[in-house]
Structure 1
Amino acid sequence: MDCQQAPIFNKPNNKSINHPNQLNTIPEIILSGSAYERGLQHGRLLGPVIRDFLNDNRARINCIRQFPLDEAVIKSQVQQHAAIIEAQLPEIARELRGLAAGANISYEDAVLLQIRVELIAFGEQDILEGDCSTLGFKRQAHAVITGQTIDLPGNMTGLGCIFRILPEKTGDPAILMYGFAGLLGYMGLNSCGLSVNINMVVSGDWQPGVSPYLLVRHLLNQSSIEACLQELRKITRSSSRSFMIADKNRLVNIELTGNEIKIMENTALFHTNHYLDPELAKQDKMHFMFKNSSVKRLKLLKQLLPAEAKKISPEILFSIFADHSLYPVGICAHAGGNIRRSETVAAVVMEPGRFLLHARKGNPCTGTTASFEIILPQIEIIPGYG
């Protein structure tokens, strides 16, 4: 892979983290070794949090659903998804086994954590709000900045963490992710200068497969957009999403149903939670109320972004993500204590060419920015970033 080598991270400690954070500071979880060892470390460090989460109405799935999901249905769905994960992404499956051992939970529960959205939406797709708002911009040659809000139901703010993942083999990328306790992937960047953002979109062809969160983790092992597209075309996806992916040369938005892929490429890209591709728009199953919110947020993102590329900075993007023009359900969304409603649990800005990830945990209107970096020895800055 065309990646920078030997990232410098501190070695992980062996102390468990009982409370990831209630005050908007962001714990850093450093993982290294084989896939199983990485999962084992994740589970040991966050075991109490993961177990408490699972014991809360089965990872709060039944807090969000209109009707509780029967345990027999959960078991069947987990088994079907697990079989495909094991067949198509065996390294991920090994990491899940390590996670289960480290957290002292069953392997089935480790898989359940990766497919929570699929279980929440099982037979109830119309409850999916999907309030994430994402944008990406090429400020000059090779210089990309992307950002998004992370909007979820279920009081997920406290589970947010930074994951630093050391490469197991020479040539593999180091990974820096914003994610959640017990979840192997969410969004992030790597030492190849590749970043992945994620948005909910809803199609009607969800199926047993690899969840989008695990797909993001797998894509962060790649070195280019083209390599990501090759992987997306051969992996069975469990559900629909939109990915914004940047590498050293390109910025694309990839809209996915369970079975189709559409690609948009430009120097400026914006996405919320409805399909933009005309063909996929015909398959959009987002509830009309949530789609109306998505359309308004997309328009607002474009209005708020500075016209001059040189003025676009992480703090400018965070100010956009803190906007309350559509309060309470706008770009910075507030749930008002309603566990079923989506709220902004974090905002993240990435500069993949600089190997930088900036994050505000919780609502960006009140959070403070923390910055994280993949530090590389004798690093050569990509042209356009110096």
Structure 2
Amino acid sequence: MRTEDLPVIDCPKAPLARGRAHGEALRGTIAGKVERWQAAIGKAYGRPAAAFLPVFLSVTDFRTAIAARVPDLLEEVRGIAEGAGISKETAYALQLMDEEWWFGGFDGEGHCSSLAVAPVAGRGTLVGQTMDLPRWHDGAQAVLRLDDGGSETLVYTSAGLIGLMGVSGHGLGICVNTLAQLAYSPRGLPVSFAMRGALAQENAAAAADFLSRVPHASGQTYQIGDRHGIRTLECAAGGVTEIAIAGGLSLHTNHPLANTRAAPNARLEGSGDSRTRLRSLHTDFSRGPADIETAKRALAARRKGGAVSIVPKGPPRPDTKLGLLRQMTIGAVVYEIGETVSLCVAAGPPSAEGWRQMAVR
């Protein structure tokens, strides 16, 4: 998607109405995405979606954790289903992206790269990332503008999903990247719900406390920043490890740096691609000031052996496994959180797409 075509959906405060506004505004986009998603399930796991999804939903119980920790988000998902004209089960299953991957045994570690930079005189806190997902998400990118009553939250998402990452008018920003090597649980809080629950907090300390208390369904890094500083948490089923941040800079890709609660047969050192991308981020921040332009440049890097910004090759081929499942950067964000709060967003690989700046009220 071109950044200039990125839709921004205004959503009211009440959870059910919030979801309905999302679903109604993106109804056609969600319908097309569901078709691509169901086709991708068959290619990824060797079983059609009609056979895979009922088993996935019957042997996992994420709803109990969601209802206990973020019940309003269950209402929001119901609203998405009503607004988009899809079944409640389909809308619910759409939220379980990371959980579907480990349940299905999808071969991959993810490709997101993230950063957080503590504030200094003259510049606010920076939090940013690339969001790298299977190519079938392309065309479904959107920003949700959520009414928080007196302020707003901007959430970058893939249509039908309650959110991928976001920043609030309170001055709190959260980015994420998958840690597929870490322990998972069929009864934990899924990533999308954990991210939104943390984003609803007043500040970084409260968000970190929320993430430290909830049971996690999937391994995930949460980069958190507010006007006063940054926090980095590696979360897994069974425990959360906070990374000690040196020099006011936290850079992360898709292998754990501190948490050792491994999933069965996992290699904690991660892939060569993940390690190369981490070195790439460090290279860019070592060559320039730790400012928003350096953050954008780091997220747009395409160094050999581990491109941070993943540009798809050739036209999509929905009839092939690689055509559906090949990763690409479906968006990138950088939040600047100071006296004012802003979101810089690219709706595709930032090495190929322009940036758009949005103020957060």
Q: TM-score range by the shorter chain?
A: 0.7 to 0.9
**What is the 5 A alignment of 1:121-200?**
121-125=102-106, 127-141=107-121, 143-168=124-149, 173-200=151-178
By how many angstroms is 1:88 displaced?
A: 3.0
Task: Determine helix, strand or coil for the equivalent of 1:122.
Answer: helix
Question: Does the residue aligned with 2:293 lie in a helix, a strand or coil?
Answer: helix
The alpha-carbon deviation at position 23 of structure 1 amounts to 6.8
Do residues 269 (structure 1) and 250 (structure 2) align? yes
Question: CA 1:319–1:56 in 2, change beyond 3 Å: closer, same or farther?
Answer: same
Are 1:343 and 2:328 matched, yes or no? yes
Report the number of matched residues.
346
Structure 1 residues 331 and 302, CA gap change in structure 2 (3 angstroms): same
Corresponding residue for 1:4? none
Structure 1 moving runs of 4+ over 4 Å: 21-24, 280-284
Q: Which residue of 2 aligns with 1:298?
A: 278
Quote how far apart the aligned CAs of 1:24 are. 5.4
What's the counterpart of residue 5 of structure 2?
25
1:244 aligns with 2:223: yes
Distance 1:352 1:276, change over 3 A: same
Is 1:224 matched with 2:209? no
> What is the Cα deviation at residue 86 of structure 1?
2.7
Following superposition, the deviation at residue 367 of structure 1 comes to 0.4
| Corresponding residue of 1:363 | 349
Q: Distance in 2 between matches of 1:22 and 1:364?
A: 10
2:303 to 325, 328, 334: 325
| Percentage of pairs with the same residue | 25
3-state DSSP of counterpart to 2:157? strand
**Which residue number in structure 1 is paired with residue 359 of structure 2?**
373
CA spacing shift, 1:44–1:218, aligned 2, 3 Å: same
Q: Which residue of 2 aligns with 1:34?
A: 14
Query: Per the alignment, do residues 136 and 287 of structure 1 end up closer, same or farther by CA in structure 2, a change over 3 Å counting?
Result: closer
Mapped to 1, the partners of 2:101 and 2:39 lie a distance apart of 10
C-alpha spacing 1:104/1:186, structure 2 compared with 1 (3 Å) = same
After TM superposition, give the deviation of residue 218 of structure 1 in Å.
Answer: 1.4
Q: In the TM superposition, what whole-angstrom CA distance separates every residue of 1:138-176 from its partner, at most 9, and x where no partner exists? A: 2415821122111111332211111110114x6xx5211
| 1:183 match: secondary structure | coil
Q: Aligned pair in 2 of structure 1 residues 293, 84: CA closer, same or farther (>3 Å)? A: same
- Residue 306 of structure 1 deviates from its aligned partner by 4.3
Question: TM-score, normalization: structure 2?
Answer: 0.87
Question: 2:282, 2:183 → 1: CA distance?
Answer: 28
**CA–CA distance in 1 between the matches of 2:232 and 2:332?**
19
RMSD, matched Cα: 2.5
Unaligned runs of 5+ in 2: 317-321
In 1: Cα distance, 2:101 partner to 2:66 partner: 19
Alignment-mate amino acid for residue 249 of structure 1: H
Indicate how the Cα distance of structure 1 residues 210 and 128 shifts in structure 2: closer, same or farther if over 3 A, else same: same
Partner of 2:319: none
Question: Displacement, 1:22?
Answer: 5.6
| Structure 1 residue 200, shift from structure 2 partner | 0.7
Contact 2:311 2:352 in 1 (8 A): no
Equivalent residue for 2:337, pick from 349, 352, 362:
352
My pick for the range that moved more, 21-30 or 223-232, is 21-30
Deviation track 1:226-277 (CA, whole Å, cap 9, x = no partner) reads 2113322332322110000011222111001122101124211110000000
Q: Secondary structure at the match of 2:103?
A: coil
Post-superposition shift, 1:351? 0.6
Measured against aligned partners, the alpha-carbon deviations of 1:19-43 in whole angstroms (never above 9, x if no partner) come to xx56753111110131000011111
Does the 8 Å contact 1:207/1:237 carry over to 2? no
Measure, in 2, the Cα distance between the counterparts of 1:251 and 1:87. 27
Quote the Cα distance in structure 2 between the aligned partners of 1:198 and 1:94. 23
For each residue in 1:104-159, what CA deviation from the matched residue of structure 2 results, as whole angstroms up to 9, or x when unmatched?
Answer: 1111111111003322331415x123111111212415821122111111332211
| Contact 1:190–1:352 (Cα < 8 Å) also in 2 | no
